[in-house]
Structure 1
């Protein structure tokens, strides 16, 4: 990418149909793992006007009412009445329950290195982790700011701006000079109102919400920062009554705002035996520690997995010319310090026991909105900067 550019990233609120599907899928993963830490599951959703299609393939010693769980997620997102009502929408299901011996082996085997070596990747996957010095969370500025505005919109709706639809999109454009973010060029909001139209008062209220959210931190809006609301086509109604949703369709929002590479696979709706999920967390952990250690200004870690093998075929590091050490040397240090075999990642991050420890709030469910990385509001194991000293030595 050019060091001098304007880059735009988007985020959405929890009521966006794609994000509703992600939340339902991850709420199901939480519920199954909460009752059975050995569970294996893939859960996917499709959502449209008045109907939810919920598909799950799982092996779990658990009793979970998935349709009721889906209704609770949709209602919490704001769809308790109106054109789309979580309480009375139709839910079609396709569940395939596999035998219990298809579950993951007992968790005590994670303490045995030979057993870890026998737990191979079930799929081919290229996963990427990224980190940079744009923000205190080592995330790219555009996606970090877009998430911040989306959070502010949802908070405003929950705290009195009742005519605001649960479904909204935020886009933040950031100017980069010399490879570093220098100013906020503009913000664009796409919002709908329940039973109301956008007028001057609502525009000013939305403008204030966006600018206040962007004013937190080292780089705030200036007098030239543009704020637009519904600048594209008219957005009179939002949610599933307007556009369909699908699990795994917002990968850019889930990761780095499209400023860095990401796997084409969804993160949500998969138990941690799926290496495209667990591996993405491990790659982020490695990249963040490299940058936090001061060994690079920005860093991408790539892991390549082949089905039927435990060790990744390839581990590579790219620092885009910003590294204090050569990329190959950094890759060597990371490979010596961290074990990227799938079962080792699960053990290191506690990915199977975290849902039970997190209680009703869930561990995977909160990740389904506002991204899986750079979450200062969550205590995520892959965000820990716990190998900085070892990387420096």
Structure 2
């Protein structure tokens, strides 16, 4: 009698939103503010928060820069690029300079004050925990469910902007559930798409257009089968959207920005923050490390966790978890190798990942990870990691 093999099934759900989603609109405005400052002064320190609601946008936070951003022009440009009207909105600007206490911790870190520094370092701009993740499910070293969700929302935006689907408006969401067997994606279980549309749109015709013009291409890596549930605008109507329907706020789509349900989030949002804020730069560095570990075939899944103290140069924790998929050495050995191969001080992270350039508005939508044009997605430390563990 043959022994029956039982495969472990599990379901993971990931989501994404379009650039017209109210929270994403706020993220784009915040990162556009950051880019404007960095374009004129690469040493700018920025922590910008945005709130958008019906007829009203508030831009608040701290900027320390030789450049004074022209906030109304930036907000108008983002609204226009995303697809919203620029008229009829009140704008409040509540910006001030960075706290001198925070600035002192960044510019004069603890190691310098204790006589242990080199005179050429900066301290972390905040305390916190940052998580990076990578896996071998996709060429992007990202979970397949996350990539599929982003491809749908990006496809919705492109179909609207190119006029392929004329009924679409800027707001939209996608949610994907993928069935996994023994840790590998095997089938597409559920697809949910909510797309804002013109009032006179025929709902059935719009659904057919989204299926043919967006889903067919976006789901090519894992096509639907006869049992896949596809729900398009399940509420039946989605005319009023964006900040006129729902208040938006920066930093409220943390899991959309990162890895969905596949990895924990350290807690700090990314958008609107310059790279001295390790919430952002540390998370990018953790992803860079994790991706190179997977690319080096030292693991098929890898989570890297970093922790920093405000005003301190070196991280207070470096941890690697390969979920039992490590090949050449244990996780604690990999953590030692990471410290050997990568300089994890804030200034080195900024230099390694070129984080003083105005590249951040592009990160604000469709995920901060898994996109080849970002420097933290490079796979250029493979040999150094392999040499460090052999």
Structure-1-length-normalised TM-score: 0.89
CA contact (8 A) 1:60 1:100 kept: no
User: In structure 1, the residue corresponding to 2:118 is in which secondary structure?
Assistant: helix
Matched, 1:392 2:347: no
Distance in 2 (alpha carbons) for counterparts of 1:306 and 1:276: 11
The offset of 1:210, in angstroms, is 3.8
Give 2:204's aligned residue. 200
The offset of 1:38, in angstroms, is 1.0
* Aligned equivalent of 1:300, options 300, 303, 319: 303
Count of matched residue positions in the alignment of Structure 1 and Structure 2: 369
The offset of 1:301, in angstroms, is 0.3
CA contact (8 A) 1:5 1:177 kept: yes
Matched, 1:245 2:217: no
Distance in 2 (alpha carbons) for counterparts of 1:308 and 1:3: 46
Distance change in 2, residues 1:301/1:116 (3 Å): farther
Superposed, 1:142-291 pairs within 5 Å as: 142-160=145-163, 161-217=165-221, 219-232=222-235, 234-291=237-294
Deviations 1:186-224 (A, max 9, x none): 21011221222452211111122343123433x322233
The offset of 1:99, in angstroms, is 9.7
Give 1:87's aligned residue. 87
CA contact (8 A) 2:12 2:261 kept: no
Deviations 1:158-205 (A, max 9, x none): 121232110000111111001011111121011221222452211111
The offset of 1:247, in angstroms, is 0.3
Deviations 1:301-336 (A, max 9, x none): 000111221111110100001111200111111110
CA contact (8 A) 2:167 2:206 kept: no
* Aligned equivalent of 2:364, options 358, 362, 368: 368
CA contact (8 A) 1:40 1:59 kept: yes
The offset of 1:237, in angstroms, is 1.5
The offset of 1:128, in angstroms, is 0.4
The offset of 1:100, in angstroms, is 11
User: In structure 1, the residue corresponding to 2:119 is in which secondary structure?
Assistant: helix
Give 2:75's aligned residue. 70
Distance in 2 (alpha carbons) for counterparts of 1:66 and 1:23: 13
- Shift >4 Å, 4+ stretches: 98-105
User: In structure 2, the residue corresponding to 1:258 is in which secondary structure?
Assistant: helix
Distance change in 2, residues 1:320/1:368 (3 Å): same
User: In structure 2, the residue corresponding to 1:120 is in which secondary structure?
Assistant: coil
The offset of 1:263, in angstroms, is 1.7
Distance in 1 (alpha carbons) for counterparts of 2:119 and 2:375: 23
Give 2:40's aligned residue. 35
User: In structure 2, the residue corresponding to 1:182 is in which secondary structure?
Assistant: strand
Coordinate RMSD, CA, aligned:
2.1
Give 1:339's aligned residue. 343
Give 1:108's aligned residue. none
CA contact (8 A) 1:75 1:87 kept: no
Distance change in 2, residues 1:342/1:3 (3 Å): farther
User: In structure 2, the residue corresponding to 1:37 is in which secondary structure?
Assistant: coil
Give 1:360's aligned residue. none
Segments of structure 2 that go 5 or more residues without pairing to the other structure are 1-6, 108-116
Distance in 2 (alpha carbons) for counterparts of 1:224 and 1:99: 56
User: In structure 1, the residue corresponding to 2:262 is in which secondary structure?
Assistant: coil
User: In structure 2, the residue corresponding to 1:43 is in which secondary structure?
Assistant: strand
User: In structure 2, the residue corresponding to 1:135 is in which secondary structure?
Assistant: coil
The offset of 1:5, in angstroms, is 1.0
User: In structure 1, the residue corresponding to 2:94 is in which secondary structure?
Assistant: strand
Distance in 2 (alpha carbons) for counterparts of 1:97 and 1:392: 45
* Aligned equivalent of 2:352, options 339, 348, 367: 348
